[in-house]
Amino acid sequence: MPRTRTRLINAARRSMIQRAELQRKLGIAGDAFKPRALYNRGKYRLGAKVDDTAAAVQKQFRDNRLPIAIAAAAGLAWLLREPIKEHAPRLGRKLRDLAEAGLDRIRPGPAPDEETEESNETEKPDEAAQ
């Protein structure tokens, strides 16, 4: 009889363990369908999708910097088209005057004394012609 008693005790122990595991799995499954758990799972999945999308956009920016920069500049110019139409002519004149002043400083020009001598020399051939 001791063998059957031991087997019964072991069977009861296994049954209790199985029952506890089933209860635990049932608790987990039940918790998974509670509104808070559903909300958290949806929030996680949405966050994962947003992260994946952000990573893809960052990769595109890294791979195509120049076209995206050109498109951004064109978009900014489009947004500011009215103020640009109004202020561009004045700004263009100022930039042109500034560039001409810079070029005048850079260009090698005749010294002030040389200008008077050249003007005298140019007058002398005219006087000889008359």
Query: Which whole number is the average pLDDT over 64-76?
Result: 92
Is position 72 within any domain? yes
99-110: pLDDT as tens digits = 999 998 888 766
Query: Which whole number is the average pLDDT over 2-29?
Result: 92
Is position 98 within any domain? yes
Q: Which residues contact 68 (CB under 8 A, 6 or more apart)?
A: 60, 61
Whole-model pTM over 0.75:
no
State the total domains in the chain: 1
Is position 45 within any domain? no
Is position 84 within any domain? yes
Mean pLDDT of the chain: 85
| Alpha-carbon separation of residue 67 from 44, 62, 86, 128 (angstroms) | 34, 11, 28, 67
Is position 25 within any domain? no
Is position 127 within any domain? no
Is position 32 within any domain? no
* Domain range enclosing 73: 66-107
